Amino acid sequence: MDMQEPSYEGKQDHIPSLVTPKIETFKNVYEGKIFEVHFSIPEFTAVCPKTGLPDFGIIDMIYIPKKMCIELKSLKEYILSYRNIGIFHENVVNKILEDIIHAVEPLYVKVQGDFNVRGGIKTIVTREYKS
């Protein structure tokens, strides 16, 4: 009997088009001024797609607004939506970054996921975008 590990190929392909709560925005009345906005989300939770157990971590974001800024309550609701999603760490960071780009079209954004140790391995994933 051939006991192969299950393949995860294709099982996360839906993540880029996953529908998540809308990140609401408001007008940047200091457009043309360069300033950074930092968010830290110390209680991020998603689901490990392999074990079905919760994954915990800290999501840190820095962005430089252009015309629009991120509204915090909607960001909280957006982040909370991940609690029931089976998603790999790498996909969490990429999905969040792309959703922020879609919402506010910033001059710059960086998202870092610093995930709790699982199986003796610490995972930190970072992605940034400059317009």
Q: Are strands 121-130 and 108-118 parallel, antiparallel or unpaired?
A: antiparallel
Q: How far apart are CA 66 and CA 34, in angstroms?
A: 8
Q: What is the pTM of this model?
A: 0.92
For residue 69, list its beta bridge partners: 26
Q: Which domains does the chain have, with CATH numbers?
A: 22-130 (3.30.1130.10)
Tokens 């999501």, located at residue: 59
The model's confidence at residue 6, banded by pLDDT at 50, 70 and 90, is low
Q: Which of 2, 55, 69, 99 is catalytic?
A: 55
| Identity at 44, one-letter amino acid code | F
What does the DSSP 8-state code read for residue 93? H
Helix (H) or strand (E) holding 94, with range, is: helix 89-104
Q: Which of 13, 48, 69, 99 is catalytic?
A: 48
Helix (H) or strand (E) holding 26, with range, is: strand 25-27
| Identity at 93, one-letter amino acid code | V
Dump pLDDT digits (tens) for 14-46: 999 999 999 999 999 999 999 999 999 999 999
Q: How far apart are CA 30 and CA 69, in angstroms?
A: 10
55 assigned to active site: yes
Dump pLDDT digits (tens) for 45-69: 999 998 899 999 999 999 999 999 9
